[in-house]
Amino acid sequence: MTEFLQSSAVWGVLLTVIGYGLGFLINRKTKQAWCNPLLLGILFVILVLSLAKIPYEDFKASAAPLQYLLLPATVSLAVPLYENLSRLKGRFAAVLAGILAGVVTSVGSILLMAWLLSMSREQAATLIAKSVTTAIGIDVTQTLGGMVPLASAVIILTGITGNLCAVFVCKLFRITDPVARGVGIGTASHAIGTAKAFEIGELEGAVSSLSVAVAGILTAVLAPVAMNLVF
């Protein structure tokens, strides 16, 4: 079985799709927030690789075609934003200010933690892009000299955490404005959080999509500057 999987060109793609599909079905069946399809899919893939004793490098090479879809998927988030532009008129300044505040907080918190824990530049660079979508975060991490595999895991974990906690946090802090919700979710937990934003409401999802793109750009600009000031 292991030899068959290792010799197949795209078995990693199939395994990933099956894992996500099972996670999606479990999520719909249980209707529990912690049964996140992406999280369950990751656990399924880890379980299969562990039982079959397949090296992660083999899985990564076989699942590589999925990585090519990251950028188109990110760009496609502009569609719901375009459809809701009329509802955002007069609020763009507030939206951009909110996104900027979120990015500064995200980058600043990592640098503060790096200073308090005496992290190396490589370790800080691995964490600094945790709140941006994977397609942008990987490039930022590579540019700053961080550990890309670990950075990818941190980015995904951040997104899943945001997806699971978004509704609770909004209720806790009594955030009821759809635009404010979208900005917070998209800026803090990128595309994975945006999936939850769309479940909450169409406007929340549209604003979250905008926040993902703008936060990614701002992080790509601000992170190198901040890193050079601290390290």
Whether residue 103 has pLDDT greater than 90: yes
Looking at the structure, tell me whether residues 59 and 97 fall in a common domain: no
Looking at the structure, tell me whether residues 22 and 53 fall in a common domain: yes
Looking at the structure, tell me whether residues 15 and 81 fall in a common domain: no
Boundary of a domain, candidates 42, 68, 94: 68
Cβ contacts of residue 19 below 8 Å, gap of 6+? 40, 41, 42, 44, 45, 48
Rounded distance between C-alpha atoms, residue 142 and residue 126, angstroms:
9
Looking at the structure, tell me whether residues 38 and 92 fall in a common domain: no
Distances in whole angstroms, Cα of residue 69 to Cα of each of 14, 73, 134: 15, 6, 11
Looking at the structure, tell me whether residues 57 and 111 fall in a common domain: no
Provide the domain count of the chain: 2
Looking at the structure, tell me whether residues 142 and 219 fall in a common domain: yes
Residue type, 76: S
Residue whose structure tokens are 């703008």: 214
Looking at the structure, tell me whether residues 138 and 223 fall in a common domain: yes
Looking at the structure, tell me whether residues 139 and 57 fall in a common domain: no
Looking at the structure, tell me whether residues 28 and 131 fall in a common domain: no
What pTM did the predictor assign? 0.83
Average pLDDT, integer, range 202-225: 93
Q: Which two tokens stand for residue 201?
A: 């409401």
156 contacts 42 by C-beta, under 8 angstroms: yes
Domain that holds residue 85: 75-230
Looking at the structure, tell me whether residues 172 and 101 fall in a common domain: yes
Rounded distance between C-alpha atoms, residue 144 and residue 122, angstroms:
8
Express each pLDDT in 158-209 by its tens digit.
999 999 999 999 999 999 999 999 999 999 999 899 989 998 998 999 999 9
